[in-house]
Amino acid sequence: MAILPILAHPDPRLREHAQPVTVFDEELARLVANLSETLRVSGGIGLAAPQTGDRRRVLVIDLSGGESPPEVYINPELQPGTTRCLVEESCLSVPGVVGNVVRAISIRVRAQDPQGNPFERELEGMPAVCLQHEVDHLQGTLFIDRLPLLQRLRLRLRRGQLAKSPATVA
């Protein structure tokens, strides 16, 4: 297993859309093992392959504090519930930033395991929030994109990126 480097915002690779996994082989198993090890040493609770520069639709989450192996989701498709809540999030790819975003607190997910077997799960609470955050990474979205406009502008000003943003309103 290898510890993979985690890309940091504003790396443009974080904005790319991940591609579906079609081959379930030893290379994919190695990616899952490396993502799991990287997540373990990072102290985070979720990690998507695009955060490491790999464009496959693969993610791992672990809310057990390392007590059990991470859950693996390949090609996940979400069906969010209707109940939404304001939750505090942070991200390994956006170090030092914490913010409140609106997320569904219960979801249904369809995905595949590392062998390609399909499965469905219903998640509630923090597991649901974490999975949505990681699926966003597969779509090139960061949690900071979901922050209220004023908070996003303050963040850009603080990071000296206001002039670079196409979302800036004059």
Look at residue 6 and tell me if it is in a domain: no
Active site residues: 134
Confidence of residue 161 (pLDDT cuts 50, 70, 90): low
10-19 pLDDT, tens digit each: 999 999 999 9
pTM of the model: 0.89
User: What is the CATH classification number for the domain harbouring 99?
Assistant: 3.90.45.10
> 146, 101 in Cβ contact below 8 A?
yes
pLDDT higher than threshold 50 for residue 80 = yes
Q: Residue 148's pLDDT is what?
A: 85
Query: How many domains is the chain partitioned into structurally?
Result: 1
* Distance (Å, whole) CA 125 – CA 58: 21
> Could you list the residue range(s) of the whole structural domain that residue 23 is in?
12-162
Look at residue 170 and tell me if it is in a domain: no
Confidence of residue 169 (pLDDT cuts 50, 70, 90): very low
Q: How many helices (H) and strands (E) does the chain have?
A: 3, 7
Look at residue 4 and tell me if it is in a domain: no
Look at residue 168 and tell me if it is in a domain: no
